[in-house]
Amino acid sequence: MTTPLNERRIANAIRVLAMDAVQQANSGHPGAPMGMADIADVVWREFLNHNPTNPQWANRDRFVLSNGHGSMLQYALLHLTGYDLSLEDLKQFRQLHSKTPGHPELGYAPGVETTTGPLGQGIANAVGFALAEKTLAAQFNKDELKVVDHYTYTFLGDGCLMEGISHEACSLAGTLGLGKLIAYYDDNGISIDGEVEGWFSDDTEKRFQAYGWQVLHVDGHNQEEIRQATVTAKQETQKPTLIVCKTVIGLGSPNKQGKESSHGAPLGADEITLTREALGWLESEAFTIPQDIYDQWDAKEKGKNAESAWNAVFAQYKAQYPTEAEELLRRLNGDLPQNFIEKADAFIAETIEKAESIASRKASQNTLQAFGPQLPELLGGSADLAGSNLTLWKGCEGVQDNPAGNYVYYGVREFGMTAIANGVALHGGFVPYVATFLMFMEYARNAVRMSALMKQRVIHVYTHDSIGLGEDGPTHQPIEQIASLRNTPNLNTWRPADTVETAVAWKASLLRQNGPSALILSRQNLPFQTRTSAQVENVAKGGYLLAEEKGALKAIIIATGSEVDIAMQAYAQLDGVRVVSMPCAEVFMQQDAAYREAVLPVHIRARVAVEAAHADYWWKFVGLDGKVIGMTTYGESAPAKALFEHFGITVNAVIDAIKDMTA
C-alpha cells in the first residue's frame, strides 16, 4: 500500500522545488528527486542526525547522494531543513558561481559531504565514510563514552549499481562488516535510454547478500515501510544494509512519471501545472513553500539539541581522557603533530648520512617506518600488492583483524580503493594512503581526479614506474601515466630520484592539506645523489639545481627519478652543463619567478629533458629548440638494462643531444 496523496504533502515540497528549479535552469534531472522524495522525507526528518546550524559537527551522520544527477533532491533537503541555502540559491540552480551546481560539489552548498556525479563513486565514498567511522570509533571510544558514533546514509540508483566500482566497494564493505552503512536503492527501472531491464537484469538482492549485506525491500512511496526498514537496518550492527526501494521516477507528473522523459530534462511548464494539480499542491507560483511545510521540515532546533547532547558526552570524555580528547580533536582538525616536521627533518638527515642506493619504493617503506609511529592518523592500504608496493611498515595492523588498526587490505580493487580513500579523507581523522602499480592507476583514474577536484589529502603511491620494471612487458610498463597525472589540476606528482627525494616527497605530501599527491616510485635500485644542505632544502621546491655547471653555462639537463643518474653520468663528461632534478614539476611551477629563473635561466635554450616516460610532457620545459629523451611508443618485455639501451634512454644519448645543441 502506498502513502495516500494527502499524507505526502511534506514530501511534495521536494518534488515541487526540484521540478521548479530544473525548469528555471532549463536543465537537470527532476525524475530522481520526485521519485525519492518519500524516502528522503523519512530519512531526513526522522533518522538523520545533523545540525543545519553547524554542518561540520564532528559526530553528524553523513549523507551521500551517489546518484548525484538528482542534485535538486539534496539541495531541496538542505534548504527545507534549515541550512544556509536560500530559495534564491535554488533559483540559481546550475548557474555560474551558484551554491547549487548541476551535481553536488564539495565546498559550494553547506551540508554537501562529497562531490558526486560520476556514478558509483558516491557509494564508494560512503563506504569510506563508514570505514573511517568504525575505525576512528575503535581507536577512541570507551565503553561508557562513545564520542564517535554515527551512521552513513546513501542514496543510489541503477547507474551506480551498473558501474563496476559499486562491486569493488560494496564487496569490501560486506567483508569489513560496516554495519552503520545504510544504502537506499532507487529501484525505478529507468535510465536515460529507457527501461533498464533490457541491459540490467541482475538479481540485486542476491548480489548484495553474497557480499554479506542485509537486504530489505520496501515500496519506496510507503513511508511506514521505509521507516520500519530503516529501524531494522540500524538494528543490524554486523552488516551494511541495502534497502531496495521500488519507486516511480518523476512521481506526480501525469504524463511523464515512470518514463525516461522525466529523467534528464525539464518537465515543461504545462506538465508542471498538471503535476501541481495531481499532487494537490495549491500554490501555483514557482518556488513557493507554505510556512507550515517549512515548520515540519525545520531541523535547526533538533540539530542543536543533538550537538549539545554530544558536547556533554565529549566534555565527560575530555575530563576522564584528556590526552585522547586532545588527540581526537587534533586529528579531526587535520593538523599533524607539532613535532612532526622536526622529526621528519631528523629522518631526512639520517637518510643523507646513510647514502643508500636502493629502490625508491624501498626508500618509501623506510620513510613510512620512520613517519608511521609519529602519525596515528595514517590509514594505509594497497590493492593486493603490499609486498611489491612496500606499503606495509612494522606498526601496520589490518582493520580486518582489528577495527582499531591502521591498514586496509583492499584486494584487487584499484578504483574502489581510491574512491573509498577519498571518503576516508572526507570523513576526517585520517590521512589515507593507497597503492598499486603505476600502470594500474588507470583503473582508478577517475577517483584520483575526484580527490584532486575535492582538494583532499590522499596520498597515491605508485610503484614500478617505467620500463625499468623490466620483463613484465608493455602491459605493465607505464608510458603516458605520469604525464596524465601531472596534467591533473591540483595533483602534485612526485617522482623522486633517491632516498632523500623520497623522504622529502613524503613529508611534503603529508604537510599538504589542500589536495592529493602521487608518489611515483621505482622497482630498481637508484644511486644515491650527494647534495649540499641548501640543495636538500630545495628538493621541497619541486625542482632544483643538483649539479652546477663547470665553466660558463651552455646547456641544462632536466631529469626525474631513475633518469637523474643518467643525467649525472652525462654531466661528468661535459663542461658548461648543469643538472636540474625535477621531482615535482607542479610544485616547481608554484615557486616565484626569481627562483624558477635561477634554476632554469630563460636565455639558456639548449635544454635536454630525460625521463623514461612519455616525451611530450617535457616540451614546455625545453622549448622548441630543446630535445626530449623519453618514450614515444609502448615498451617491450626484457631486462631493464636492455630496454633502456633499446629505447635510447642512455648516457650517450644525453651527451650527443647536448653536443648537437652546443656545437
Residues acting as catalytic residues? 414
Q: Which residue has the cell 632554469?
A: 600
CA angle, residues 495, 501, 506, in degrees to nearest 5: 80
Q: How far from the centroid of its chain's Cα atoms is residue 413's Cα? A: 14
**Can you tell me the distance from the alpha carbon of 284 to that of 120, in angstroms, rounded to the nearest whole number?**
37
For residue 218, the surrounding DSSP H or E stretch is strand 214-219
CB 357 within 8 A of CB 526: yes
Q: Within its chain, how far is the Cα of 501 from the centroid?
A: 25
Burial track 409-442 (b if 16+ CB lie within 10 A, e otherwise): bbbebbbbbbbbbbbbbbbbbbbbbbbbbbbbbb
Residue 373 carries which DSSP code? G
How far apart (Å, rounded) are the C-alpha atoms in residues 508 and 544?
15
How is residue 212 written as a grid cell? 554479506
Q: Which three cell numbers stand for residue 14?
A: 521536494
Q: Max CA-CA distance within the chain?
A: 88
> Measured between alpha carbons, how far is residue 63 from residues 52, 230, 423, 475 in Å?
13, 14, 12, 39
What gap in Å lies between CA 20 and CA 26, rounded to an integer? 10
CB atoms within 10 A of CB 403: 15
Helix segments in 321-453, DSSP class H: 322-333, 340-354, 360-371, 386-389, 414-427, 441-453
Query: How open is the CA angle 372-375-380, to the nearest 5 degrees?
Result: 60
| Spatial separation of the C-alpha atoms in residues 375 and 331, rounded to whole Å | 10
Checking phi first, is residue 431 left (phi over 0); if not, alpha (psi -120 to 50) or beta? Answer: beta
Query: In the numeric block, which cell numbers belong to residue 230?
Result: 530503516
Whole-number Å distance between alpha carbons of 69 and 297: 23
Identify whether the C-beta of residue 611 lies closer than 8 Å to the C-beta of residue 561.
Answer: yes
User: Grid coordinates representing 143?
Assistant: 565503553
C-alpha cell at 218: 520496501
Strands 378-382 and 431-437: parallel
Q: CA 352 to CA 494: how far, in whole Å?
A: 19
Grid coordinates of 327: 588527540
State the Cα angle at 435 between 618 and 167, rounded to 5°: 115
Given a contact cutoff of 8 angstroms between Cβ atoms, the answer to whether 605 and 566 are in contact is no
- Looking up cell 610544485, which residue turns up? 587
The DSSP element (H or E) to which 556 belongs, if any, is: strand 555-559
**286-289-291 Cα angle (round to 5):** 155
Pairing relationship of beta strands 517-520 and 492-494 according to DSSP bridges: parallel
**Quick one: residue 355, left, alpha or beta (phi over 0 = left, psi -120 to 50 = alpha)?**
left
Q: Which one, of 158, 156, 165, lies nearest residue 200 by Cα? A: 158
Q: How far is residue 1's CA from residue 390's CA, in Å, rounded to a whole number?
A: 56
